[in-house]
Amino acid sequence: MQKHHIDTSIVLEPETTENGKLCGRYFNKIKSSYNGVLSLPVLGELMLTLLQTSNYDDRTDFQEFLFHLIKVHGIEFYVSRDIGKITGRIREIDARIDPVDLDILSCAIEDKAECLVTLDTKLIGNRKIEREFNIRIMHPRSLL
């Protein structure tokens, strides 16, 4: 099965939006069609979201959602080993990419993922990066 690194935007998109519905459908394909992976930078962004949530019920719901997502869909984790050269090369190709997105993309490349799944329009279909690193950067709609 193809290894997909999953961007924070896919996890955090509200279920009520069109993109959120697509993300939900994508998650339902993980484990049966794709191997889903969350990198440490994604986990960091998710933890920041959790810590910034002041309402107890919302925090609890978010924790349960993450636990369900990871256990039911068999999501794995990835911690980078040495992404410095990859990060530097990505910056040379496209300096517009935000620092955290740069780390998320670098982790996906280092882990030899076939795809980074994201809602980030700065990343989706970036042909130069895709060619240089042999990775696809895709919206979940393209994977359904």
Is the distance from CB of 10 to CB of 141 less than 8 angstroms? no
pLDDT, tens digit only, all 144 positions of the chain: 999 999 999 999 999 999 999 999 999 999 899 999 999 999 999 999 999 999 999 999 999 999 998 999 999 999 999 999 999 999 999 999 999 999 999 999 999 999 999 999 989 989 999 999 999 999 999 999
Q: Where do the domains of the chain lie?
A: 2-143
Residue 116: how many CB atoms within 10 A of its CB?
A: 29
- Beta strands 115-117; 76-78: pairing state: unpaired
Entry pTM: 0.94
Sequence-distant (6+) residues with CB within 8 A of 21 are 15
90-99 burial, b if ≥16 CB within 10 A, otherwise e? beeeeeebee
Q: What is the CATH number of domain 2-143?
A: 3.40.50.1010
